[in-house]
Every structure is written in structure tokens, then in C-alpha cells.
Amino acid sequence: MKAKHQRLILAAFALVGVAGAGVLGASALRDEAAYFRTPAEVKAGKTIVNEPMRLGGMVAAGSIKRQADGLTIDFVATDGKASIPVQFTGIVPDLFAENSGMVADGRMRADGVFVADRILAKHDERYMPPQMGDMPKDMKVAPKV
């Protein structure tokens, strides 16, 4: 066997080993590397009251209620499977809206309300001109190339 072939086989083994280790490591990180937990994940797990955590989900349609102080809002975060009421006092990003994604830093209160101390807006992967954004929902189908 030529030395070149030996090196090629060695390199192939090394590549397979590294790729395997990477996939194993990545899947082991599955929970730890998650940036937020969804309402369903929070409800399924053991939630510790007052433990700092990050909740992410869609803002449920018609759920945003502004309180009398003008700064505090209540809304419902949902992932389609479960919902968690959220309360936040402060300024939210421009993109924060009903039927849109959000991520909240905060903690669960004993009564099951998630009290957020910071809210980020999450947007989806669709981009389109404003005229198309005004169209009825069912027409907003991304063009397939």
C-alpha cells in the first residue's frame, strides 16, 4: 500500500471520528444550547418558581392588554400546544406584536404568571414588500424557486 493511500485512510477515519464526536456533542447539547424554553417545554418540565429563565413563543392574537400605568403590559405567550400568561413593565421592541414571536427573560410567579424583566422580538424567515404584507394571510405564500 502506498503511503498516500495510508494517509488517505487515516484522514478518512479521523474525519468520521470527528464528525461522530461533533454530532454526539451537538445532540448532547440539545437542551443546554437552547436559547429559550417554549410554553409546552416549561409546562412539561418541573418549573421552579422565581428561578430565572427565558421563555419564547408567539404572542397570542388579541392577548395584549395595557394596564392603566401605560407601561405594564399583559399578554399570553403560546407555542400552539401550551400557553403562559406574561407580564412586563417597560419598553418593548418595535417588532413586538400579536401573532409575532418574542423571547422574555424573567421568572415564573407562584400564580403561574411569567414576570418578564426584558423582552426581545423574534421575527421569522420571511421577507416581502409591504404591499404583500397587507394581503390576506392565505395569499402570503412564499414563492418557491
Partner 1 sequence: MTGVISGSGQWAYVVAAYALTALLTGAVLWASWRAMAKAEKRSDALRTDGRRGGAPRGDPK
Partner 2 sequence: MHAYANPTRFLAIAKPLTPWLLGVGLLLVLGGAFAGLTMVPGDYKQGETARILYVHVPSAWLGMGGWTSLAVAGLVQLVWRHPLSGIAARAIAVPGMLFTALCLATGSIWGKPTWGTWWEWDGRMTSMLVLLFLYAGFIALTNGDEGQRQGGSLSRGAAIYALVGAINIPIINRSVVWWNSLHQGPSITLGGSSIDKALLWPLGLTLLGFSLLFGAIVLMRMRRIIADNRVAARLRRLADEED
Residues within the interface to partner 1 (CB under 8 A): 64, 73, 92, 94-98, 100
Are 57 and 39 in contact by the 8 Å Cβ rule? The answer is yes
Tell me how far, at minimum, the Cβ of 111 lies from partner 2, in Å: 25
HSE-up of 101 (CA within 13 Å, CB side)?
12
- Told to check if 132 binds partner 2 by CB under 8 A, we report yes
Q: Is 109 helix (H, G, I), strand (E, B) or coil?
A: coil
Name the binder of 98 from partner 2, partner 1, none, CB < 5-8 A by kind: partner 1
| DSSP one-letter code for 37 | B
Among 21, 28, 49, 71, binds partner 2 (CB under 8 A): 21
C-alpha span between 44 and 33 (Å, rounded): 18
Tell me how far, at minimum, the Cβ of 66 lies from partner 2, in Å: 18
Tell me how far, at minimum, the Cβ of 95 lies from partner 1, in Å: 6
Name the binder of 52 from partner 1, partner 2, none, CB < 5-8 A by kind: none
Handedness of CA 122, 127, 131, 137 (dihedral sign): negative
